[in-house]
Structure 1
Amino acid sequence: MKTLSTISSLLLSTALVLIGQGMAITLAPLRALNNGLTDSLIGLSASAYYLGFIVGCLYIPTLIKRVGHIRCFSVLIAVVICMTLLLDLFDGWQLWIILRFSVGAAVCGLYTVIESWLNSQSTDDSRGRILSVYTCITLSAMTAGQLLINVGPIESSTPFTLTVIFLALAIIPIGLTRKIAPTPVEVTSFRLSALYQRSHSAFAGAILSGVVVGSFWSLGAVFSRYYSQSTVDITWFMTTAIAGGALLQYPIGWLSDRVDRRFVIIGLCAGGAMSASAVALSTAAWWHLIAVFLFGASVMPIYAISLATAADVCGDCDFVEVGSSILMLNALGSFVAPLIVGPLMSNLSATMLFWSAAALCTVFGLYLAVQLKDSRAVSVEDQATFSAAVPDVAPASFDLDPRGLDVLATE
């Protein structure tokens, strides 16, 4: 409890950033649609955001080394605020691509500052607790951000203004903290080939999570807008999916500690395929939000289970590297997906967002089922303990994860 009180200002800044980010991630595609951008161009702008996130993973740690955590945080907040206001002022798709890329890079940098600072304030005994609180704040704040979109019409400046207010407020707790900023973070290395060699299942799960969940974040609000002109309905659509992923993550994680995690990922793929099909078929049905809830519950935990699967087969010396590779694969999937799904929605139907998710879950589920013929190097009894995780983080979060402290079996 004492540890949490020492990082209260940092956690408050985190919540404020994520409320603003939760609003922005849904506001952007809705405003783009209102501006007349096609689904293909909206998908392209979403891909630019995730490309910026990837670039941020690679280069922001160098900036933190140069100017320190507090200055870097303030500068990055200023960038996000300026880019968000420009999104509100201009509607040309070429500028939107640049602005969304810049926001993605800056947001990744904010996550890096926050997570590395949390890690510096944690002890071996408190890491798990701090990571759980951080994950809870991430999910809760993103959900709150969805609901706050309803403060004004999408075509007005009110939602964007409230977004930047929350982002600006985030500077205050960190700017006034009396705690000493941590030492600069190290640049993270990524070894995708090493991850694939260690666990085909974790590798595939990371890609699937990025493609399916990334396309949902990028185009889910656009899909909902086709079937409802009410902003309230759209925000409830997005919130319901997040709630499904948040509420079921721990029960699914509990189950994955007691059985071969590969079975759990296959089960999530099956659930994702069925629930995605149900969402596509139920656009006018009373049970539409139930299908959306089940979709979120099926696909959003795949990232955390994939990370746990990777943790089972790596030791403390390379968990950060392997975990960072999981995150990078997830981001790459999120970058590629809108480029493909956006044109499908434009040329065929908005429901292609979920029909493509159903198809991908089926294909990856079959691939993972084939992997069952290979024996695992780690028994169920030797699996690492599940820890909740979300893909909306930076590589620095893996320094905070207690699973990196355990010496586990390797293949």
Structure 2
Amino acid sequence: MKIVITPNAFKNSLSANEAAQIIRNAWYDIRPKDTVISKPITDGGEGFSKILSDEKDGKFIQIETKNAIGEPHLSGYVKINKATAVIELAQCCGLQTLAKENYNALESNTEGLGIVINQALEDGCTEFIIGLGGSASTDLGLGALSALGVRFITFEGNEIIPNGKNLDLIQDIDFSTLSTKIKGKHFYLAVDVKNILLGNNGAAKTFAPQKGANKTEVDLLEYNLSHASQLIHRRTGKEVQHIEGGGAAGGTAAGFWAFLNAEIMDGSQFIMEVLGLHKAIDSADLVITTEGRLDEQSLKGKAPYAIANYAEKKEKLCIAFVGDNNVNHIDDLPFYAIYSVNPSLVSIEEAINKTAENLKYSIHQFAKVISITNK
């Protein structure tokens, strides 16, 4: 048999590359004669830059920047073919740069991302591929734009660095120097969601609770995003509120679309193209993917769903191994089967700590079942 394994990361537990290695080794333990093709995946979040670097022989450039709450932080970007910068927001200033007790949806911003972009510009990069998953902030990407020289002015005439809490204080935006800086540059945003900026499916109401926001803070963030988006419309003529995917990374996609003329891409489809997954799946007997938590959000742009959807169209079986399955209408999904690797009665902490062990065990058991009918 030919098996294609395309794991996504188990958040806070296993990277996509680690999951791929575990699955590959566990499968060969039981079925050593099979051919296993390993293609770790991402949809714009954790692991985005490494996966592209591995595929395209990139070089990591380390930069001192700031995490989501402004603390000094080492990050960087991957340089490919001398002029392309691959940047992962999650690595620059995402939730992974903070201890959970330091999540702060109001004070967090994307300034650290802007610092990395600015350095890549100075290094001569002209093409920017930015993965926008795993963000900690809800600032429309304005923190990053401030690092690129855009000035945000309050009603009192003071310049501020935007974050989720102070967007409503901005009265004017001076982006007069930006056009020269980005002239001849191209920005592509890999997003893992299709959410728009505002409303019940928008950046604040859908994602801010995951970043530590309570209901009062979510309402404030929604108001502030609305205020800032109206100001952007007045200053640029661009309507950011209803752009598909504009709600990604706390509205960073919408802000970059407005000021950097960035193209918003489906991160899953982009990765599938780069990794040659369509061709790999076409010739596979079985496809295995993973996701830390399978929920309704997984059905809105996440890579495992995109892979299963393509596999189903090609009449290939796609099996998902997940840390937690929170989807009820399984029969309506393109996955042939979904297996939860963690026992249902254990704590989240124990499940996270034992994900590697439980994934290995689950693959062993599944491979044994396959061996009953496929010697």
Q: State the TM-score, normalized to the length of structure 2.
A: 0.24
Q: Name the structure where helix makes up a greater proportion of residues.
A: 1
The structure whose Rg is larger is 2
Q: State the TM-score, normalized to the length of structure 1.
A: 0.22
Q: Name the structure where strand makes up a greater proportion of residues.
A: 2
Higher normalized contact order (CA 8 Å, seq sep 6+, divided by chain length): 1
